[in-house]
Amino acid sequence: MKNRLESICRHAHYEGLTRTILNVASQSLDWQLRQ
pTM of the model: 0.61
Query: What number of residues does the chain have?
Result: 35
- DSSP assignment of 12-32 equals HHHHHHHHHHHHHHHHHHHHH
> What integer pLDDT is reported at residue 33 of this predicted model?
93
> What integer pLDDT is reported at residue 4 of this predicted model?
93
> What integer pLDDT is reported at residue 16 of this predicted model?
96
Ranges in the chain, pLDDT < 70: none
> What integer pLDDT is reported at residue 2 of this predicted model?
83
| Contacting residues for 15 by C-beta, under 8 A, at least 6 apart | none
Instruction: Indicate the domain borders of the chain.
Output: 1-35
